[in-house]
Structure 1
Amino acid sequence: MQRTDFHEIEISSRRFYSILVTLAGVLVAAAYAFFYMESQGHFVTGMNNQVVWGLPHVVAIFLIVTASGAANVASLGSVFNKPAYQPYGRISLVLAMSLLLGGLLVILLDLGHADRLIIAMTHFNFDSVFAWNILLYSGFFVIMGLYLWSIMDRTATAKRCYQPLAYLGFVWRFILTAGTGSIFGVLVAREYYDILMMAPLFIASSYLIGTACFSLVLLLLYKLEGRQLSEVIKSRLAISLCLCIVVVTLIELARHLLNYFIMGYTAVEVFVLRDAGAVTLMFWLGQVVIGLVLPIILLYLPSVKRSRLAIASTLIMLGGLCQLYVIIIGGQLQPLRLFPNAVTETSGNLDIAYSASLPELMLSLGGVAITLFVFTIAVKVLRLTPANS
């Protein structure tokens, strides 16, 4: 097999520092938004007593799910022994860790009382899925860091550790994504969440969104260097995306059918799919049309499969963001049924609405900015980019 050489990304210092300064500006705005919400309180956001997870949580879960899927390219090269993907394993792992870092920072700052993080990390309630995920997220950084070391180091010790770490990383990502989906699947009080199919849905969605994110980043890196990405890897990525789209579509369809016909959650399904206003529009136009239908058309047709990978990947990521918005926000907009088998009356207004405030938007963009900031520095100082692929 031909030896692959790696190098730091070859872009001018002016362009490199321009990117960092732009991202730093977004981070400053995000920091201001955090301190503003922390000092003023919950009422300056669009959230309320019913909608307690807003846009920052949507973006945070999006980044976490994408992180798990972005590392899939490294697994394809090592666990499944696909030589075409092996030169891109370094970029895949660094991108995955950068995405997870951005997602966790948004969650930490959005939950409030970030100063109490040390308590959450030292006092675990193992009856809570949230506590499990703290361990899973921490382990992700350790395992992926060691996995990256085993790829980059050419010593005999690293070579011996390479395959075991590859398998461990693959299994860990699988469990991590299932754990993230289970956060919602075990919330029986919310009818739209209360189904364990959330775990396989999040796993399939992570593979789809993560592969799309990796494809877009890889194309951008090659564009910055003035090089062309191999048509072989473009074709393979397109095929992977098509397969993931089919799997996500089937699982999503099964989830809605089970909710409607088996679980008896007819009212919440009708609400989200027909009566939820902007959430309904996000489902049909954002998730279904933009995130699933248009990308598979672009990727499947032979005449456009190779030239439209970047567009399809962007649409998939937008669709994935809409999917999580529908799940997280839409699931909270339906009023709780406190007494399922009884007739209840209320004198209050049951109309629940949510509109993200500017501070929430800035905090969400801060998570994306820190991801890009860390990744940009990494590809500039580390030899991650294959030189002869």
Structure 2
Amino acid sequence: MAKKRNIIVGQSGGPTSVINSSLAGVYKNAIERGFDKVYGMLHGVQGLLDEQYVDLSTQIHSELDIELLKRTPSAFLGSCRYKLPEIHEDRDIYEKLFGILNKLSIDTFIYIGGNDSMDTIKKLSDYAILTGQKQKFIGVPKTIDNDLALTDHTPGFGSAAKYIGASTKEVIRDAEGLTYKKKMITIMEIMGRNAGWLTGAAALAKTEDCEGPDLIYLPEIPFDVEKFLAKVKDLLTKKDSVVIAVSEGIKLADGRYVCELGSSSDYVDNFGHKQLQGTAAYLANFLAGECGCKTRAVEFSTLQRSASHMASRTDIDEAFMVGGAAVKAADEGDTGKMVVIDRVSDDPYMAKTGIYDVHRIANEEKLVPRNWMTRDGSYVTEDFIDYIKPLIQGDYQPIMVNGLPRHLVLNMKKKR
């Protein structure tokens, strides 16, 4: 009797509007390549430790379900922010995990996620090599932050950038309509702890019918409050409506987050990441006092990562592509690797998948190059815009039912 070849896939970290397109790519390609079962971890490796998983054939019954899954935002299987200990710190967790994998006859383990998820792939593949286990471990890139090393960009980023660019245009239009005979400052807070890729996407709003935001501040450059105030005051002498995009993670020269100058949460996740919130609110209050005009703070918050109705076709297609490429890589014997996207050309835009050792990617962070920001750090350059524009192209229309998008939802009654 032939040995069973089963595959298990999980999702980890912050969700995106296209993370499930990668899941669909894994499932479809695994079935086409003859894997017997495709299991999904419920809430990533943390759920797997509790033996929480689902046979995906009980959830995906047709091509229509695959199309719905590609259009469904957030993590269909549930996510987690669970940090595996170092192997020498707690071998029991690894023995438990591999015991579960062996019980399920798992041949291939695929994890869809960002930096911290690639750390999980690295540790599991290292343990397998160390102990002679035969499973293969492959990472699939996912993060709206676009901060994974060695890949040109990450699935999830293009759609978030498209949403930010479109929403910035709408915020600017709204602000301009409210400024008759009065001055107003609008501060938009956009996700990004250390990398400013998303905040820079606000510059996409600069089009034939829109001036774009007046100032853009990324976390790669220390934020100077006094210089910021001087720039805003100067802008107010020239125009009635000033719109500014700031990263939630902008810091002062001494390392303090700007959001810490106001009230901020002390919550820290399992990876030591401090929760950032209130940057725009603090700056809006500060400017109201200093400039004596109306101010408002707009937080895009989770909308920028869940707006599947604004997804880029390029992004959804590439997310599906890297999911399938991960299955192919494992089927051909790769392990301890992450699939990457390599840009072949800009005009016309073309990309292909590649694969790199996860040890070169895990816990590395790709920041916006300094020469893609203006000299004074208050905007991004044309090189930044040229890089990002191809990633927002095309639409992927939701499947509408009674005027609203239909999503594929996990049926928990069929977990096993």
Common fold by TM > 0.5 = no
Which structure: larger Rg? 2
TM-score (norm 2): 0.27
Q: Which has the higher strand share?
A: 2
Which structure has the highest helix share of the two?
Answer: 1
* TM-score w.r.t. length of structure 1: 0.28
**More RCO (CA 8 Å, sep 6+):** 1
